[in-house]
Chains A and B, each alone.
Chain A
Amino acid sequence: MKYLLVGGVLTPLYAEARQTQDIDLLVEIQFSNEKLMLLSSELQKSKFQPFTTWKDTFFDWVTTHFITFLDPSGTLKIDLNLTNENEIPKDQYEKIRILALSNRVQVKFFDLVCWAESKEDFILGKLVYAGIQDYNDALACWIRFKEQIDQQYLDEKSKEVHVYKYWKMLKEKKPVEEVYPD
């Protein structure tokens, strides 16, 4: 199963380490009953915990492309964002998922090597989600890794997901108050 880490858990690697209460993963999956059974039984076998029941957890997964549950200790929330690379993206959220999946990179958490979204897709995702914290994370990433970031990729892709205006402001290091005045 193709997976990658996305979002807040990458802040120590890409931006400014900050607190986060959940782990976001993007997983490529074909939506079928067999896959549902497989995923559900694997999660149960590994002692992950549902919020209510596993049936509820998977209730609307085909429509929402999302499931959430707790780790075996019951303290950490894990969000699985599901996507299918072969499907035509229906919105910009789906588009950034597919981009992240095809450009995934390997990162290291100590000696553990895992797949993660690239720095460029980290910035793009944050600009699409457009929260104050998201923008600040993207800005920190830009300031920290400006020399390594593929600006041409971001120029192009930010237009495709309708955040070019914000990417331009980020490049100019505009503060969040100026970018989202409301």
Chain B
Amino acid sequence: MKVIKSVINPAFTEVMTTRKITDLTLKMQGIKRIPQDKLTTLFFEMCDWGINVYIQTEMEKALKKTKTEIMREYYQRRIEKKVRR
């Protein structure tokens, strides 16, 4: 099998990865100033939002499916993917 080498300039990659670390460091400094309860609320809202949008989208595709059926299929696909890896 032919291996395709990356055409991205290594200097550009280095700049981008350094930037990512700087961004993360700044983000963490910001997070330290946010009260823990607010961060926890944000986390739960984020997770709920993600699941609800997924369920809603899947329900629009298959009107007869219940939310439990949708989530079961979702998790089963994830488990199968993990097993394959």
Instruction: Establish whether residues A20 and B47, one from each chain, have CB atoms under 8 Å apart when the complex forms.
Output: yes
CA distance A177 to B70 in the complex (A): 34
Q: Which 3 A-B pairs have the closest CB atoms?
A: A74-B68, A12-B43, A175-B17
- Nearest CB in chain A: distance from B24 CB, A: 6
User: What are the residues of chain B within 8 A of A140 when measuring CB–CB?
Assistant: 24, 27-28
Proximity string of chain B (38-54) to chain A, C-beta cutoff 8 Å, 1 when within and 0 when not: 01101100110011000
- Nearest CB in chain B: distance from A156 CB, A: 25
> Can you list 12 contacts pairing A with B, beta carbon distance less than 8 Å?
A17-B39, A21-B51, A51-B75, A70-B71, A74-B67, A74-B68, A75-B55, A140-B24, A143-B24, A175-B18, A177-B13, A178-B17
CA distance A20 to B42 in the complex (A): 12
CA distance A70 to B79 in the complex (A): 13
Say what secondary structure dominates the interface of chain A.
Answer: mixed
- The answer, yes or no, to whether A68 is at the interface (CB within 8 Å) is yes
Interface size, B (range): 20 to 34
CA distance A100 to B43 in the complex (A): 23
User: What are the residues of chain A within 8 A of B36 when measuring CB–CB?
Assistant: 12-13, 108
How many chain A residues touch B (Cβ–Cβ < 8 Å)? 31
- The answer, yes or no, to whether A11 is at the interface (CB within 8 Å) is yes
Instruction: Establish whether residues B43 and A144, one from each chain, have CB atoms under 8 Å apart when the complex forms.
Output: no
Say what secondary structure dominates the interface of chain B.
Answer: helix
- The answer, yes or no, to whether A110 is at the interface (CB within 8 Å) is yes
- Nearest CB in chain A: distance from B56 CB, A: 12
Among B27, B40, B46, B72, contact of A70 (Cβ-Cβ < 8 Å): B72
Interface residues of A (CB under 8 A from B): 11-13, 16-22, 49, 51, 68, 70, 73-77, 108-110, 136, 139-140, 143-144, 173, 175, 177-178
Instruction: Establish whether residues B40 and A109, one from each chain, have CB atoms under 8 Å apart when the complex forms.
Output: yes
Most chain B CB inside 10 Å of its own CB: which residue of A12, A20, A21, A70: A12
CA distance A118 to B23 in the complex (A): 25
- The answer, yes or no, to whether B21 is at the interface (CB within 8 Å) is yes
